[in-house]
Structure 1
Amino acid sequence: MAKDNDEQHTRQIEEFGKNDDFWIFGYGSLIWKPPPHFDKRVPGYIEGYVRRFWQASEDHRGTPEAPGRVVTLIDRAHWETLTDHHEPTERVWGAAYHIPSTHVAEVRSYLDIREINGYSIQFTPFVPSSSPDAPINCLVYIGLPSNPQFLGPQDPDQLARHILKSRGPSGENREYLFQLEVALKGLSAESGDAHVSDLVGRCRVIEGEGKGEGGDGEVESGKAKTEVLEEVEK
């Protein structure tokens, strides 16, 4: 049965987009750093998942020696078996992008490289905020709990401190967190994420403490920006 499901999933991936129906849902950096060649961008949400900074980033917001933290999605049923410090939002907001059939192969190759660090292809109904009665079947990259970069529940204060001190080829980990909050709030009046905003608030407090002590410590501002390469996220 598992083999049959795997084969069916592989066929779905191979055939997706052949009828000019390639849509990808972004819930992290794809919201503010979209894929190439899209001709439509639609704000909206998916249900049945929880967004969390529980995925290690060894290639963009961290290094193999000191991984950063980026978001992934956890199936709501699985999340309910875990111990979390934050309550989930009812919906995971993000943006869906339509890729014309002539560019699907190129964009798929681009995304497979961009999302290589532990993410795999899944599919989910996406609800456009402008047309809630017309869901769209979207491809989405998710770091499943079985992937080696999945970290599971973490203490929020320790997580905030880890994000503040992490950086990788794509830049500082804090930039990813702060940009995500801004991007989410720009989608809708209802699109904020308490988990993301709580981490931002904790980081701001910690940064303030560091400045008050007269030194940057582990929350140094990082004025020498690293070169911005491709993001790891979805």
Structure 2
Amino acid sequence: MSNDPFFHHPELADLITKPEDSFFRDFSITKLASILTDRGLPTGWWHSDEERNAMRQAALSEHRSEDLWVFAYGSLMWDPAIRFTEVRRARVQGYQRRFILKDIHGGRGTREAPGLMAALDRGGECEGLLFRIDREAIETETDILWRREFVGPAYFPVFVPAQMSEGTVNALTFVADYDAELIVPELSRTEQLEYLVTGSGFLGDSADYLRNIARQFQLFGIEDAEVEALYSGMNLLVK
């Protein structure tokens, strides 16, 4: 195997943030609490470090002692924060990318002006990226991954068959948790567009989140009707 993580997809090398440059590489509850306190936003709604680590250990308990594949479908595609040995284009059947995460905690929206982000939901299919983590680095890198993705309730971890050009691998991914306050599967198109236009937080604007997704998908060559429809609708509203 090549030592170049981008051996199979050299076109992705300049499109994915280096781990050392990622905001999320050293992300922690302490860092988050400081940011939210400075902005006068509510704190304490998150998982404790002990809870988060217990969820991580449970999710990985049946993973064999081999490299770990992670399937990314949203911002994790271009800013994974983890160190990986290989990246591959992939498709997952039975799950679809949906904009049903209503951000109210300050990342890209607040309770007064919610933001919107993508989650993986059941049904359809989803194209994204697979990142391969060396088995010797699983403990360190999944700790970073969990601190990025499991700040508070929103997802649950699952292993899914991910199809790439050379076959299928069992990959870890994060699916919408319908019991979480942030997951709102019945959002109307009007509400989605409103949250995209008005949502803003310490990670940036929801509108920029969608623009980045649309731009990156175009560069990656990924077609997504939902992204295209939301992007077109948002542009009509902000003109």
Alignment TM-score > 0.5, same fold: yes
> What are the equivalent positions in structure 2 for 1:1-234 lying under 5 Å apart?
13-16=60-63, 18-57=64-103, 58-76=105-123, 90-116=124-150, 117=152, 118-128=154-164, 130-131=165-166, 134-188=167-221, 191-208=222-239
Structure 1 residue 71, shift from structure 2 partner? 0.9
Aligned length: 181
Partner SS, residue 65 of structure 2: coil
Equivalent residue for 1:85? Answer: none
Percentage of matched positions with identical amino acids: 24
CA RMSD for the aligned pairs?
2.0
**Cα distance per residue 1:120-155 (max 9 Å; x no partner):** 211111111x32xx1110000122222221111222
* Separation (CA, whole Å) in 2 of partners of 1:123 and 1:73: 13
* Separation (CA, whole Å) in 2 of partners of 1:176 and 1:205: 17
Q: Work out whether residues 74 and 145 of structure 1, in 8 Å CA contact, stay in contact via their aligned partners in 2.
A: no
**Cα distance per residue 1:194-231 (max 9 Å; x no partner):** 111100001111111xxxxxxxxxxxxxxxxxxxxxxx
Structure 1 residue 65, shift from structure 2 partner? 4.7
Higher relative contact order structure (alpha carbons within 8 Å, sequence separation ≥ 6): 1
Q: Work out whether residues 23 and 98 of structure 1, in 8 Å CA contact, stay in contact via their aligned partners in 2.
A: yes
**TM-score of the aligned structures, taking structure 2 as reference length:** 0.70
Q: Work out whether residues 44 and 95 of structure 1, in 8 Å CA contact, stay in contact via their aligned partners in 2.
A: yes
Amino acid at match of 1:54: I
Equivalent residue for 1:5? Answer: none
| Structure 1, unpaired ranges of 5+ | 1-8, 77-89, 209-234
